[in-house]
Amino acid sequence: MASPDRPLGLLAELSYRCPLRCAYCSNPVALHDYAEELSTDQWRRVLSEARQLGVLQLHLSGGEPLLRRDLVDIVAHAHDLGMYSNLITGGQALTGARLTALADAGLDHVQISLQDVDPVAADAVAGKPVHHRKLAAAALVAASNLPLTLNVVLHRGNIDRAGSIIDVAVGLGADRLELANTQYYGWALVNRAALLPTAAQVAEAEQAVRAARQQLDGTPEIVYVLADYHDDRPKPCMSGWGSRQLTVAPTGAVLPCPAAAQIPNLGIVNVRDAPLADIWFDSPAFNRFRGTDWMAEPCRSCPRKEIDHGGCRCQAFQLTGDPAATDPVCSLSPHHDLVTAVVQNTARPPIVPRIMRSLDHPL
Amino acid sequence: MSGWKLRTGVRLQYDPVRGAHVLLHPEGVLRLNNTAAAILTLCDGDRDSAGIADLLAESFEAVVVQQVQGFLTRLAQRRLVVADG
């Protein structure tokens, strides 16, 4: 196999702590395993090594990254290195003073999540009355010199309001709107039966997106993330394993994607124990599914193997127990009936809200 | 026509790791060749495509105004530059 490319993006999961309880959260369910967060100096070292490795895009996420009191320091260090920093936040804790401090430190872009546009439904999903504070935070960003992205995770309970969500994004002056169908990892997988929309709901939302794109002059840009369970070809997950992005989890585990820690015996290395470049180029975790040599049939002889990379390794593991299997979303997968059965199942159990266990209290 | 400038939240930068200029924007990176980087360096909000092509002709023989206009129009469609004014 040729030497891997250098990564362009780093997802820095600064903390899994979060005041919200969203049932579609992709964070790991066993959060009590993740209590010991990297220190400020350790994050500085991670960012310096990431820049030397080639990273230009920094996604500051979590959990809720604003819970890190050293966030301004981390942003300032990223800016000094020449990185473009994106803050991925719930927004409820974003004050004008904090935003100004982050912007002065060199923050480049803010993404705020909204749970819904119906305030009652939004607060029910978040588990707290935060919707109006989120709208206020979005207005603060829109009035600043930073670009604003709104992110709304779509699921059975809110997808029918896709058109109204677009209207709210326009009203807030957002530059981008991400309408992202739930991806079933972590808590979202636990709640899959309750969250999964019907095929008809998905089709209607996609029609609303098409209509809005025609009607708007390109602002906000609408980024629509597909509902892969309703598709018959898998998503090109991470643009290929260990190809363009890496994730550093709150504890320092370096992962090919945020969900990868669940795959057994992956050979995950912690950034406390090795230089980031060694982990990217040489660790078993990153080399396990690089390229196409690991593929079995039907991927191995598939003309699309360089396009969709066999889909998602974590999804293959979650659904079949084998992380090297073809993503069962693909209609060519021998396990595709597993996805079909989920989509056709009409039982709607109650939602299990994300809980934090030992992480509920700040460290 | 009005002058070209980078859109808010878009940054032109040299990446010493790759030895190339890049255009950084929300959630994305566009790697640039030397001509593209030279064009974008001249997007100061005042110069139109003709003004940029005139200045570029001093260092790049083959650049014509239609190429500059075509390149910047494509970047405008990708929401990376805007025609100011």
Judged by a CB distance cut-off of 8 A, whether residue B24 touches chain A is yes
| Most A-contacting residue of B6, B13, B17 (CB-CB within 10 A), to test interface | B17
SS3 state at A172: helix
CB contacts, 8 Å: A52 with chain B: 17
Residue A29 — pLDDT band, cuts 50, 70, 90?
Answer: confident
Residue A2 — pLDDT band, cuts 50, 70, 90?
Answer: low
Give the model's pLDDT for residue A1: 54
Provide the 10 A C-beta neighbour count for residue B74. 11
Name the residue facing B15 among A56, A145, A175 (closest C-beta). A56
Chain B, nearest residue to A52 by Cα? B17
| Structure-block tokens of residue A345 | 């199942």
Torsion region of B80: left, alpha or beta (phi above 0 gives left; psi -120 to 50 gives alpha): alpha
CB contacts, 8 Å: B26 with chain A: 86, 108-109, 111, 147, 149, 175-176
* Mean pLDDT computed over every residue of chain B: 91
CB contacts, 8 Å: A146 with chain B: 8-9
What is the rounded distance in angstroms from the CA atom of residue B54 to the CA atom of residue B60? 10
CB contacts, 8 Å: A149 with chain B: 26-27
Q: Please state the rounded mean pLDDT for residues A334-338.
A: 96
Judged by a CB distance cut-off of 8 A, whether residue A82 touches chain B is yes
A residues 43..62 contacting B (CB < 8 A): 51-54, 56-57, 59
- Number of Cβ pairs closer than 8 Å across A and B? 52
Q: Cβ contacts of residue A27 below 8 Å, gap of 6+? A: A16, A18, A62, A63, A186, A187, A258, A354
Q: Do A108 and B8 touch (CB under 8 A)?
A: no
Give the model's pLDDT for residue B1: 56
For residue A362, pLDDT beyond 50: no
| Most B-contacting residue of A56, A178, A219 (CB-CB within 10 A), to test interface | A56
What is the rounded distance in angstroms from the CA atom of residue B25 to the CA atom of residue B7? 9
Chain B, nearest residue to A55 by Cα? B17
Name the residue facing A146 among B9, B11, B13 (closest C-beta). B9
SS3 state at A186: coil
Q: Cβ contacts of residue B84 below 8 Å, gap of 6+? A: B2, B3, B4, B5, B45, B46
Name the residue facing B27 among A6, A57, A146 (closest C-beta). A57
Chain B, nearest residue to A60 by Cα? B27
Name the residue facing A84 among B11, B18, B79 (closest C-beta). B11
As beta bridge partners, residue A177 has A150, A222
Q: Please state the rounded mean pLDDT for residues A211-221.
A: 93
Q: Please state the rounded mean pLDDT for residues A163-188.
A: 96
The predicted-structure confidence for B17-69, as pLDDT tens digits, reads as follows 999 999 999 989 999 999 999 999 999 999 999 999 999 988 776 778 999 99
ipTM value, please give it.
0.92
For residue A65, pLDDT beyond 70: yes
CB contacts, 8 Å: B25 with chain A: 84
Chain B, nearest residue to A109 by Cα? B26
Q: What secondary structure letter does DSSP report for B58?
A: T
* Mean pLDDT computed over every residue of chain A: 94
Rounded to a whole number of angstroms, the distance from the CA of A95 to the nearest CA of chain B is 20
CB A72 within 8 A of CB A102: yes
Give the model's pLDDT for residue A32: 60
Q: Do A147 and B8 touch (CB under 8 A)?
A: yes
Name the residue facing A149 among B8, B13, B26 (closest C-beta). B26
Q: Cβ contacts of residue A333 below 8 Å, gap of 6+? A: A298, A325, A326, A327
Residue A324 — pLDDT band, cuts 50, 70, 90?
Answer: very high
For residue A356, pLDDT beyond 60: yes
The predicted-structure confidence for A94-140, as pLDDT tens digits, reads as follows 999 999 999 999 999 999 999 999 999 999 999 999 999 999 999 99
Residue A352 — pLDDT band, cuts 50, 70, 90?
Answer: confident
For residue A355, pLDDT beyond 50: yes
Give the model's pLDDT for residue B24: 98
Rounded to a whole number of angstroms, the distance from the CA of A2 to the nearest CA of chain B is 18
Judged by a CB distance cut-off of 8 A, whether residue B19 touches chain A is no
H/E element holding A9?
Answer: strand A9-15
| Structure-block tokens of residue B7 | 């859109």
Q: Do B24 and A56 touch (CB under 8 A)?
A: yes
Judged by a CB distance cut-off of 8 A, whether residue B31 touches chain A is no
